[in-house]
């Protein structure tokens, strides 16, 4: 067997063992500086992703709207699993995710949220499954990743009130994000500019961590780079993290 064929066979076997053998489409953010940092030039569907804000309510709200904006751009219903229903649905609508698309699963505890997520991920044809948990194990992340790959449904673990300095457990998630509130543009008059976030890609499989200052989701779920930052080199926008 030729060396190239041997290497391809080994890669395929490793991918199967790691649960990365199934490839699904990607959902691009529409920002080149961000999409080029992601495998497939966008957020992989049929995979597990982690999103966090911080104990600050404003940061958790930003992370929630960021997540809603992603789901708004994927066709189908959304199953949102949480311990108790404290989600402000109108905010999701502002990011393009209509309340009629969202089905809430009130599970009562983190273990029940994870069980509900895994069951929901068995059903193809939905936009995504969200699970709000404080923490979860590496084993649980592997189960969710495998379930997402099998059905092609995208899974999101939303770690509510996650401390910025807290070291998260290892995960099978393809990406790990943190979204924090950032100062809006100074308009020079008593008024508010479009909200801004610091979007941090803390972990990405096969890539390096990076961060960006972006303008918050519009009514179609799309984020944007502030006009003053568009022409800057991508390297100047990033802040490196320890993976």
| Chain segment 200-241, per-residue pLDDT in tens | 999 998 889 999 999 999 999 999 999 755 545 444 444 443
For 38-94, give the DSSP string. Answer: STTSSEESSSEEEEE--SSHHHHHHHHHHHHHHHHTS-S-EEEEESS----HHHHHH
Q: What is the pLDDT of residue 238?
A: 45
Chain centroid, CA 153 distance in Å? 13
The string of pLDDT tens digits covering residues 95-142 is 999 999 999 999 999 999 999 999 999 999 899 999 999 989 999 999
Radius of gyration of the chain (CA): 18
More confident residue, 80 or 11: 80
Give yes or no for residue 42 having a pLDDT over 60: yes
How does pLDDT run across 60-74, given as a tens digit for each residue? Answer: 999 999 999 999 999
Q: Taking residues 154-164, report their average pLDDT.
A: 93
3 state DSSP class of 210 = strand
Most confident of 43-47, 85-89, 228-232: 43-47
For the full predicted model, state whether its pTM sits above 0.85. Answer: no
Q: What is the pLDDT of residue 166?
A: 74
pLDDT score of 5: 55
Confidence of residue 160 (pLDDT cuts 50, 70, 90): confident
């Amino acid at each position: 067997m030729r060396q190239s064929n041997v290497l391809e066979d080994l890669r395929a076997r490793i991918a199967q063992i790691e649960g990365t053998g199934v490839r699904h489409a990607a959902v691009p953010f529409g920002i080149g500086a961000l999409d080029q940092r992601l495998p497939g030039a966008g957020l992989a569907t049929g995979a597990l992703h982690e999103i966090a804000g911080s104990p600050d309510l404003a940061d958790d709200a930003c992370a929630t709207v960021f997540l809603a904006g992603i789901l708004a751009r994927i066709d189908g219903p959304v199953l949102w699993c949480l311990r108790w229903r404290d989600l402000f649905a109108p905010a999701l609508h502002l990011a393009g995710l209509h309340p009629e698309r969202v089905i809430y699963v009130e599970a009562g505890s983190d273990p029940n949220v994870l069980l509900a997520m895994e069951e929901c991920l068995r059903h193809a044809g939905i936009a995504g499954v969200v699970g709000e948990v404080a923490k979860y194990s590496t084993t649980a992340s592997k189960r969710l990743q495998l379930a997402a790959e099998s059905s092609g449904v995208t899974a999101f673990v939303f770690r509510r009130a996650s401390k910025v300095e807290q070291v998260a457990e290892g995960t099978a998630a393809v990406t790990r994000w943190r979204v924090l509130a950032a100062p809006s543009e100074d308009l020079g008059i008593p008024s508010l500019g479009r909200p801004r976030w610091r979007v941090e890609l803390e972990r990405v499989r096969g890539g390096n961590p990076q961060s960006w200052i972006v303008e918050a989701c519009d009514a179609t779920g799309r984020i944007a780079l502030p006009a003053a930052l568009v022409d800057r080199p991508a390297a100047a926008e990033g802040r490196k993290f320890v993976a």
